Structures are given as C-alpha cells and as structure tokens.
Structure 1
C-alpha cells in the first residue's frame, strides 16, 4: 500500500505498489478549490499524454532500437510533469484541505539503505512493493518474479525451472550471470543472501511469504560494499493484520502442488512466527521437475523500553532438474525438449541451505546502536555435462551501525565483516560416453573475507533542501588451499581487492513532490566461480581477472497528491562501467562459462511509475523502463547492445476489490534483446496477460476461506523466457505457455 500521508503539507514520497489509502473524512472545499482542481487536472493530463507518447514509442516498428524512441516530445512531457508537480501546492497552502482528517504516521525508514534514509527524503530512487493481505492470500506465486512485477528498472525473470535460479537485472547490472544473481545486493529479513564474493542465490526465498520489498535502483556500494549495483531487500515479517493461523493448498498446470502453513503468536513482550511450505512441479520441459521445502521463523521482542531484539531464520531443501538451453532449431522443433547433453547427464541441483541471525537495536539519549550477527551453511551437488560440482559452504558475519545527530545534521557510521568458506570438489565426466568418471579434477578450499567501514551524513542546507555525503572502504580477500595432489601442481594462492565507494546526493522537498539528484558508485569483484573457472587450467585462481567498477548519476522526482489519489516516480540515469566482466564459452566445453575483463559499458535510461486510485475499489498502476546499454572501448563490440537486457519494458495492472470479489489483471510487454555480445542472436519481444480472481469473505464458522484461481499467459504466447548469455548457439530457454493455478487459503 502506498503510504503517502498528508502530514503538515509533507508526504512520505517512496514509490509504492498495491493500494492507496482511502481518504478519511471529506469536507467541501470552496477556498482555492478551483485552482487546486485545475492544477490536478493539468497533472493528470500531462501524465496521460506522457503514457500515450510512451505507448506510441513502444509500438512495434520493425524492431526499432533506441534511436528515435526518446523523442523531444517525450522529454518535454517529463519536464511538464515535474513542473506541474513543483507548482502544485499542498492543500493547506491554497485553502482548506480536501481531506478534513489528517492521518499522521512516522517516517518510513528505508532498510535497503541500512536505515540511513527515509522514504520522504532519500536522494535516490527507491521503490517499495507492499503486498496487501488479499494479495498474500489470493495469489500463489511460484517464482519471486510473480510477486514483484512492475518495479521500473528491475527485471526479475524466471528460467522456467528451479535449477539455476531467476535472473535479476537492475538497470543492466547483473546481466552476465549464468546462474544465481551477481552484482546485486539481496537481503532476506536483514540477513544477506549476497555472499562476500558478490554472488547470491534466491532458493531460500519463499515468494508466498514475501510481504514487503524495497528496491534501490542504482549503485549502492556506499551501503553494502561488493556486488551492490542495486539492492533488493525482502521482508517476510508478519504484520498487524496477519492472521494467527494461515493454511494454504493449491495446484495447477504441469503437476504443480503447493502446501503452506504459517502460525503467528502475539504476546505482551513481542511476536513469534513459524512458517513452512512445500512446492513441487513436474515442469513443462523434459528434465525440468523440481521440489522446494522451506521454513521460516522469526521473533520480535521488546527486551526493555529502549531495546528491541529480532531473531530470524530460514531453511530450504531443494531437488531440481536442469533442462539446459537450446538452439533456435531445437526450439522450433520441440520447445519442451531438454538439451540432449543435460538430459543424458540428468543435470540438476540438490542443495540445502539454512541461516540464523539476530538483530539488536538500542536507543541511547542521543544515538542509536544497531547490531546484526548471522551465520549459515549451504551444501550443493550440481551434476552438469562438463563436471559434477559439489561444495559445502559455511558463512557468517556481523554489521554494526551507530547513528545520531549533531545539531540539525544526521550522521551514521558503521563497520561490517563477513566470511564464506567453500570446500569444493569437481568430478570428471566422459562427455562422449555421457557418463561421470570416478576421478576428481579439482579439490580445494576457497575462503573469502570482507571487511569494511563507512560513514554517511545528511546536512540540511535550508528547510527544504538537504545534502547527503558518504563513503565506504572495502577490502575483499580471496584465498585458496589446493588439496588436489594428483596433478603435481599446487595452485594455492591469494588475491586481495580493495575499493573506496563514495556517494553524494541532494534532495529538494517541494511539499507534494521530492526532486533529487545523486552520484553513487559500485564495485564488483569476480565471484569464486568466475575466479576458479580458468581456460585450460583445472584449479587455482585466474590471476588476470579484476573487479569491475561503476559510477552512476541520476536525477528524478517522486511524490503523491492526495486530492487526485495519484503517485508518480520518474528517474533519468547514466552508469559508466569499467573493466567489465564478460562471460564466454569454449567450443565442446559442455556449457562451462569462463570470464574476462573487456572494455567498458554505458548504461543510460529512463524509468517511470504511475499509480492512481480511480475508485475506492479500483487501483491502476503502470511502469515503464527504457534503457540503452552498450559496449564501449572495444573495436569488436563498440556500440553493440549488452545481451540479456531489453531496451524497453512496460507493465500495466488493475486491481479491483468489489464486495467479496478480488481481481487483478496484469499486462507485461518486453522488447526484443540480444543473447550474445556480437548481437547476432536476437530474442523476440513479447506481451503477456495474467488474470487472478479470488473471494475474500467466505466464512465457515470462525474460519475465513479464500478460494482463488489464476490464469498465467492467458493468450498462450510462445516466447523465450530467459537466455544463457554467450552460450555458443544454445542461448534459448523457452517459457511455459498458458497455465492455470487454483487453490484455497484458510485463515483463523
């Protein structure tokens, strides 16, 4: 729910999704009403013209690329929206407020920025998806992307199976990852899923229980260090409206089965929660079946009047097959088939992961101390055509932040430390005979340690103008102990990377809108997987790989007008990426990806989100992303598009709650994009329609029963859901066609 609340002519200005608040108490406003309505109508007209221009630009015209899309008219319309927003006064400035009852809530802290900022004043783009109780109980997301549609600049797309995880791309960052997530900081209930080496896996995230998501859509190493080209902060904690007991059962196409339960106990001292789920699916492609068993626990306790303790834990056990990617000819022949080598080797993934963490916050008289400590493990067995990969991982760390004020200036300082230890082996295969051999090709222990310190200040220059400055120092140490003695070579070694990540921003609060600009940075070391995959070498670290570094600038505005029941978020940005890490494959390598630093990237784009409560029972939202992400500085690739990232994406969503009926209609359009650096393999664009319907108020005694049905890809569009970047000719991972899911949620 968008938490834009009138508060003495100020608004909480984060970009939220779901429902807007219904006004409490109405009074007829005569003084200044005409001027107010005129300005509101001008704003709505400008927004509608802007959307119309966007749709005109988005219309397919022989696969047009960026040139000609960002027209002068489009730029003028963006400026018009900003000017109208700046000129539009808060209700109290022009006369009596439209809403006679003013609801005051505390400023919402942005956890994705380490609680250094609030939504009403953050000088950077931040979006929040807060799922209502109806959305939580009447939707049955299989992938995290099902629950996080519509955030501009953020593309989370599933691969149609569970074995390698979803692709997460933020403004083009993270594009190169062949599995898991790279270059993006991901947190689950405050526990990092992104390891010290910069890689994250989302298997432990249960989309059924994600209630709130914050996305910082730009370089964020100032807050989180290595691998922070953007931030995704996922929150599963129960809310005040969360029922004491929730039971769910559902099923659907391709053998989908979902079972889940959540219990919440509330006492005078705090809240306790336990949740479990089991999901299974046969898959629509050969060799693509999978299973997840997950659990969550949390407690929030008030230890004293100024001290709060949060304990969180998560667990996942996974067994999934991997169908691999196909050639274009194989897709045309039979899009449900698996890659023949992946099928022959029964490729897949068996993994178990768990973590446990505690956070203590204590408020002193003038300062606040925030300390988090956590630890976990992840065991993996990953049979693939080129090798059977297995490792046992232990990881843990701590972070601390001290915040306070000095006069009108607010400050934060902190320090972080984290370690991961992977005991890794690789087992040989006979690719020609399609069998695993009883011999090792690698046996080594990889350890990554990161330490850092940061500082951040918020300086009010005037009552409405605020300057923020910050910097962070990181050191990331990779060490390797080679236990593979049979090759007679000791590849043990160590590599250390260091970086300083400064940032600065300025924000001007006009009342109904916040106008901001910032400069931020990010650095991204090679992951352990990228360092150990050496062409022609079985073990050790690649001595030639270096971190890639990103500088970014953005300007934007966001705000809300209660009178018009409208919110918006507009941002323009440019990123400069140096020493770019690029994946490549060697013929007959069985799909193994290797990496190298090659040249530079330039990422340039525009993002727009608009939300409007047309009626008390009807909410509409749209988002649009346009970007031009190209290679620079290399003769062979200069000017080519970075693969795996479409130039444009557009989403529209209507949510209606009429009586006991809840309905959501979603439409997503994705532009064409390339699958390789050479831009010789293009993925066609597509448009998808999804429909969800449920009943909210069916009573059986003390139990509320909520049946639901979902139709995904309602028009049965055939499209490529994801790609394997630079994978010789095996680029394509076909997506499922029309699917149907149905189930029931019971709450007490």
Structure 2
C-alpha cells in the first residue's frame, strides 16, 4: 500500500510539472454543470440528438462524476431499459431490455466497444468488470437489436469512450482517493497530456479493494490504461489503446429464502455432499491484457476510412463449489469501414458506410477438483475455437433538414470448433457452423418542429450462444444450442427546449424473440443452457430531465436539476415447454416489470452540491415456473460534494455519500433458476464513503 501511495505522489508531481509547462498555468474550466449536449456519436459519426432514429441512452462524464465512482452500476441504472446487477462486489451483470434471461454472470446478448475496438470477443464474452469506471469518459447505449453495423446482438450495443480518446485537447491531470464501509478503499490517478499539436497521450491507473458485506466477498483490482494519439496530418490520426487489468473477488454464492431471511451476510453453506463457498474459497481471478491500433484517414471532403486491429489475452480462474476451472483465452481481430458524406445540397444530404469486422478466439477450458481453493485431480478439459465475421453497409439521407432515413444490412457468419483435452483427448477439432444470418434495419425520424421529433424503426436481432454457454460449468459441450433471433419494432419521440434545459425521450417497442436461451442449474449448482422457444417482449421507456433552476450565482440554491426515468416491461414466454412443464405465458425470469429511477441535483453556494437518487424496482420472478419472486425495493443514494481552487492551478473536490440510505434488505443479483432455491445474493445495508480529488 505504501509503495502504491509513493508511486501515486511521484506521478502527480511529474504530471503537474509537465502540464504546467504545456498549459502556461491555464486552468481547465469546470464543465460539471454544463447543460446536456445536443449531439451524439452513435452510428459511426456524430448526429444531432433530436434526429437520431434509434433509442439511445447517454451516460455522460457529468453523470459519472455524480456517482460514487467505484462502480458503473448506479449510473447505468439511470438509463431506462438498462439494468446492471451486482451479485457481490466485483461480480456484475448487465442487461438491455431483458437479456438477463441468459446471463449467469457478466454480459450476454450485448456488443460492447471500447473506442473502435470490440471489448466483446469472438466467443461472445465481455469482461466489463475488468474496466475501472475512472478510466471511462462516457458511454452511449443503443437499445434493442442493432446488428446492422455492429454484428451479433439481440439486446443492444454499448459504445465506450475511454479517457484520453475524447475530443478534449487540453492537458489536465487528477489524483483521487476514497474509502468507505466494509473495508472499501480506492485510489486513481489520471492525466491527459498534449505534448505537441500532433501528439497527446492519456494514462489512467486505479487500485480498488473491499472486504465486502457478506462472508467470502473480499475483492481487489489493479487497472492500467493508456491512449496514445498521433495526428500526423489534418484529418488523419493513429491511436493506440492498451489496458491491463488484474482482479480477484470472492463469490459467496446464492442463499435460499430461509437462509437469506435468517442471516443475509452468510456465504452459501454446505449442503449434502457439497461443501460451502467459504470452505472451497470460491472466487474469480481474471488477468486481462488488451491492445489495439486505430487509424482514421480523411481521404477528401467526402470519404473517410477507419481501420482497427486488436488482440487480447485472458487468464481466468474460478474455484467453485464442485470444481476449479481455468481458462486461457486469446482473441484477435480487425474492423474496417469506409464513410461517405455528401452535404453540399441544403435540401438533400446523404451518406453511406460499408465495412467488415472479423474476430477469432481460442480458449483452453480446464476443470479440476477444488480442494479448498487448490486444484486437485483432472475432471474435464476442452479446447474451443470461435470464429465470427460480418459485412455491413448503411445508407442514410436527410431531406429538407427534417426527415432522416436510414437503412442498413449486415451478413453474419459464425462457427465454433472444439476438441477434448482430458480425461480423453481427441486429435481433431469438431466444427459446428451456423447458416449466415442477415440482419436488416430500417429507421426514420421526422423533425416535426425544431424542438420535437418522432422516430420509428424495424430491425432484426441475431445472437449465437457464447462460449460460456456452449461449454458451461457442468463441463459438457452443448452442440444443440441454436442462435436467438427476432424482429424488433419500435416508435418514439424526443423533445428539447431551445437551450436544452428541458428534455423528454420516450419509446414503445415490441420484440419477438425465437430460440431464447435460458439458464438452468443441476443439483451441484453447475449451470447449463437450453433454447426455450419464443419470448414476447413489449415495453415502454421514458426519460425526462429539467434544470428547474438554471445554474446561476444568486440565491441559496444556485441550480436544481430533476430527472426521472421509467421502464415498464411486459415480457412473457410465448412458447416454452421443458420436461413436460409448460411455461408459456409466464413472466420472463429475472426481469422486473417496473423500474423508476429519479434524481435531484442541487447546486449550493461556495462550491457545494448535493445529489440524491431514488430507485424503485418491482418484484422479480426468480424461476421459469414463477412460483417465487424477489421482493420489490426502494434504494436511495446521496452524495454531497465541495469544489474549490487551490493555488490558482489546482482544484480540490471533497465528497461524502451514503448508499442504501433507507437500510433496505434486498437482493441485487439473483441467481435465476437456481437448484435448491438458492436464488438470493444480499446487497449491502446502509453504507458510507468519503473521498477527495485533486485536479489540475
């Protein structure tokens, strides 16, 4: 710990000297209270927010600053239709419009990009928890199946802008430290340094640890990220993105309802022949290295070419109740596309995009007996190779600066191969291929007035099983799993006031999924997956925000922003029969029907501000038969902050907050369809944190 603090202080000192020399004592203007942006980068280029043809959620840098800072969960949960869960500290699940249906842990059905580099590998897995929130500048979330430009997904797409890749060209740096209940400690250092008009780089380092609320929930993570940018000529740039994440967190396991009510702090106890989670030292350890180069070239006033090449390596270990799993994963790929824009005619502008993305993943998955956190005898070992690539194209047109029309299409190829390593080895890989899948999308938006727009879209989703589902923790390769497919239809509207002070965004959608993949578990707690038939997903999503009092320098309340986000999900199995049990008509497992997230942000005198957020989540079905539900809950979080200047060139921020202010007992990450009724993972009761940031 002392070494980490020493390195942090030295880094800040060096960064301060460099930044001062480059900036000439210029202080970066605080942008925390600027009004919302009117433009969004969503489909390979920046578009006016009102004219977007799809449902989009924005997690801005301002919103991230209002949260605790050690997790993305509360910020992402402000977006209607998006749900992030935490089974234990470090163990997250992310869903868009109900994709928790097939999410044992992590991310499923969603394609995630870090700049122009896919964080989702060729096997469909995404290690989102490897990232540190402080290294993220903002996120753009495209809701609903959107494979026309981004390949296989049936839930949506998340586009992450890392720190150092944003358009801010000034030099700045920051050091932060925070601590909280249950042994929470976090520190972070970051800098973005513009060395010359052509070269700049960003560097982020973060360390985080916690003992956790429940037994067997300690966690620790080191994270290092860099973005190097070289603008070698006007409109031409090479970027390098690299990150290394090493983390480990204990997994307490699910509890039955009786255990959860009796003692929510306990880890999964021994049951029958199986020992408990603490005895087996159940945990996950993940070391991930990712790197890639991005080249953007402006060929002329109309054409732009972008290409990225990337690779990653993951060393993953998971001592579980019944086995000790090791995975060694390698992923390589490239993405390339050409943009054309023709904007000379003020009454008719149009553009086109065309490209290809290719990825290949190789994973050795090895299972051994777990002897109290140590490997024992061999159980099963397999090698998997995943290959996917897709071609995509998009045409867009703007007519009389009011009507936007988009049509896009992708052709997706996917296959995987496997062979046994032990106890019996096979010499040759066996290949499973799927028919090429077309994913079309057609969308339109109409600017009814300069401040009000209507939109509508139709698109197809396609999502094959991930490698973690083809070869799950029961150690059996399931070659029978078929890809999920379906058509999504939706419509919506947006309204903004002239100065963006008030905003409303609402949408209604209907998605009809076929071959939905669901999670089941056996008596040992090992998971496996099957196709459940059809699912009907209809919903309403709405978001509204208003600066009721615009930021100003008079009165006690210097500014007040209110926001409310509503999600209503009518998700039902439409054709699902399993082992003679007919679940058709039942509610979709793991998805709450109603979620309402509201917030209030007060600006106060002398640099003080107060932020409060309330989350209401209705009851959640825990199994396909719908005979047990997790109770609804109200979650309240608050944060107070004080910003002031130090020595002309520094800015000091002190903050303190309370999570779960009402001290509610709730389960934030349920194990759906868990054998033996072990559904519940208790979240923390009321807990506290405080911290400080020094920036320049």
2:469 to 521, 530, 539: 530
Residues 171-219 of structure 1, C-alpha deviations (whole Å, 9 max, x = no match): 1124321111110111223322212222212122111232211011111
Tell me if the contact between 2:284 and 2:317 (Cα under 8 Å) persists in the aligned partners. yes
Looking at structure 2, the residues matched to 190 and 526 of structure 1 have their Cα atoms a distance apart, in angstroms, of: 24
Where does residue 600 of structure 1 map in the other structure?
A: 534
Tell me if the contact between 1:137 and 1:745 (Cα under 8 Å) persists in the aligned partners. no
Where does residue 387 of structure 2 map in the other structure?
A: 449
In structure 2, the CA distance between the partners of 1:507 and 1:437, relative to structure 1 (3 Å rule), is closer
Looking at structure 2, the residues matched to 746 and 139 of structure 1 have their Cα atoms a distance apart, in angstroms, of: 17
Residues 286-325 of structure 1: pairs in structure 2 closer than 5 A: 286-325=215-254
In structure 2, the CA distance between the partners of 1:534 and 1:318, relative to structure 1 (3 Å rule), is closer
Residues 42-121 of structure 1: pairs in structure 2 closer than 5 A: 108-111=39-42, 113-115=43-45, 119-121=49-51
SS in 2 for 1:720: coil
In structure 2, the CA distance between the partners of 1:372 and 1:223, relative to structure 1 (3 Å rule), is same
Looking at structure 1, the residues matched to 35 and 340 of structure 2 have their Cα atoms a distance apart, in angstroms, of: 32
In structure 2, the CA distance between the partners of 1:242 and 1:291, relative to structure 1 (3 Å rule), is farther
SS in 2 for 1:208: helix
Tell me if the contact between 1:225 and 1:522 (Cα under 8 Å) persists in the aligned partners. no
Q: Please report how far the alpha carbon of residue 565 of structure 1 lies from its aligned counterpart in structure 2 after TM superposition.
A: 2.5
Where does residue 227 of structure 1 map in the other structure?
A: 153
Q: Please report how far the alpha carbon of residue 503 of structure 1 lies from its aligned counterpart in structure 2 after TM superposition.
A: 0.7
Residues 281-680 of structure 1: pairs in structure 2 closer than 5 A: 281-340=210-269, 341-365=276-300, 366-405=302-341, 408-429=349-370, 438-460=376-398, 463-484=401-422, 486-487=423-424, 492-497=429-434, 498-510=436-448, 511-533=450-472, 538-539=475-476, 541-562=477-498, 565-587=501-523, 589=524, 591-616=525-550, 617-634=559-576, 636-659=582-605, 660-680=607-627
Looking at structure 2, the residues matched to 145 and 448 of structure 1 have their Cα atoms a distance apart, in angstroms, of: 30
In structure 2, the CA distance between the partners of 1:645 and 1:715, relative to structure 1 (3 Å rule), is same
Q: How many residues align?
A: 635
In structure 2, the CA distance between the partners of 1:400 and 1:623, relative to structure 1 (3 Å rule), is same
Where does residue 56 of structure 1 map in the other structure?
A: none
Tell me if the contact between 1:697 and 1:705 (Cα under 8 Å) persists in the aligned partners. yes
Tell me if the contact between 2:297 and 2:306 (Cα under 8 Å) persists in the aligned partners. yes
Looking at structure 2, the residues matched to 499 and 140 of structure 1 have their Cα atoms a distance apart, in angstroms, of: 42
Looking at structure 2, the residues matched to 398 and 159 of structure 1 have their Cα atoms a distance apart, in angstroms, of: 34
Unaligned runs of 5+ in 1: 1-16, 23-104
Looking at structure 1, the residues matched to 48 and 337 of structure 2 have their Cα atoms a distance apart, in angstroms, of: 16
TM-score after normalising by structure 1 = 0.81
In structure 2, the CA distance between the partners of 1:117 and 1:185, relative to structure 1 (3 Å rule), is farther
Residues 427-475 of structure 1, C-alpha deviations (whole Å, 9 max, x = no match): 1358xxx786632122222111111101110134554223211110011
What RMSD over aligned residues (CA atoms) do the two structures have, in Å? 2.3
Tell me if the contact between 1:20 and 1:619 (Cα under 8 Å) persists in the aligned partners. no
Looking at structure 1, the residues matched to 566 and 260 of structure 2 have their Cα atoms a distance apart, in angstroms, of: 30
SS in 2 for 1:723: coil
Q: Please report how far the alpha carbon of residue 383 of structure 1 lies from its aligned counterpart in structure 2 after TM superposition.
A: 0.4
Looking at structure 2, the residues matched to 585 and 443 of structure 1 have their Cα atoms a distance apart, in angstroms, of: 20
Tell me if the contact between 2:76 and 2:82 (Cα under 8 Å) persists in the aligned partners. no
Looking at structure 1, the residues matched to 77 and 479 of structure 2 have their Cα atoms a distance apart, in angstroms, of: 40
In structure 2, the CA distance between the partners of 1:456 and 1:142, relative to structure 1 (3 Å rule), is same
Tell me if the contact between 2:664 and 2:686 (Cα under 8 Å) persists in the aligned partners. yes
Tell me if the contact between 1:138 and 1:708 (Cα under 8 Å) persists in the aligned partners. no
1:142 to 57, 61, 70: 70
SS in 2 for 1:732: coil
Residues 511-567 of structure 1, C-alpha deviations (whole Å, 9 max, x = no match): 2122110001111111112112497xx55x322111111210000011201268211
Tell me if the contact between 1:676 and 1:725 (Cα under 8 Å) persists in the aligned partners. yes
Where does residue 25 of structure 2 map in the other structure?
A: none
Looking at structure 2, the residues matched to 467 and 699 of structure 1 have their Cα atoms a distance apart, in angstroms, of: 51
The alignment status of 1:711 with 2:641, answered yes or no, reads: no
1:733 to 673, 681, 685: 681
Tell me if the contact between 1:221 and 1:229 (Cα under 8 Å) persists in the aligned partners. no
Tell me if the contact between 1:138 and 1:706 (Cα under 8 Å) persists in the aligned partners. no
Residues 196-215 of structure 1: pairs in structure 2 closer than 5 A: 196-215=122-141
Looking at structure 1, the residues matched to 32 and 631 of structure 2 have their Cα atoms a distance apart, in angstroms, of: 30
Tell me if the contact between 1:656 and 1:662 (Cα under 8 Å) persists in the aligned partners. yes
Q: Please report how far the alpha carbon of residue 252 of structure 1 lies from its aligned counterpart in structure 2 after TM superposition.
A: 0.4
SS in 2 for 1:254: coil
Residues 281-310 of structure 1, C-alpha deviations (whole Å, 9 max, x = no match): 000000000001001101222111121122
Where does residue 61 of structure 2 map in the other structure?
A: 131
Looking at structure 2, the residues matched to 19 and 227 of structure 1 have their Cα atoms a distance apart, in angstroms, of: 35
1:122 to 42, 52, 72: 52
Q: Please report how far the alpha carbon of residue 160 of structure 1 lies from its aligned counterpart in structure 2 after TM superposition.
A: 2.9
Q: Please report how far the alpha carbon of residue 157 of structure 1 lies from its aligned counterpart in structure 2 after TM superposition.
A: 2.0
SS in 2 for 1:722: coil
Tell me if the contact between 1:174 and 1:184 (Cα under 8 Å) persists in the aligned partners. no
1:193 to 119, 122, 130: 119
In structure 2, the CA distance between the partners of 1:464 and 1:704, relative to structure 1 (3 Å rule), is closer
Where does residue 179 of structure 1 map in the other structure?
A: 105
Tell me if the contact between 1:452 and 1:475 (Cα under 8 Å) persists in the aligned partners. yes
Tell me if the contact between 2:39 and 2:46 (Cα under 8 Å) persists in the aligned partners. no
Q: Please report how far the alpha carbon of residue 222 of structure 1 lies from its aligned counterpart in structure 2 after TM superposition.
A: 1.2
Looking at structure 2, the residues matched to 268 and 436 of structure 1 have their Cα atoms a distance apart, in angstroms, of: 53
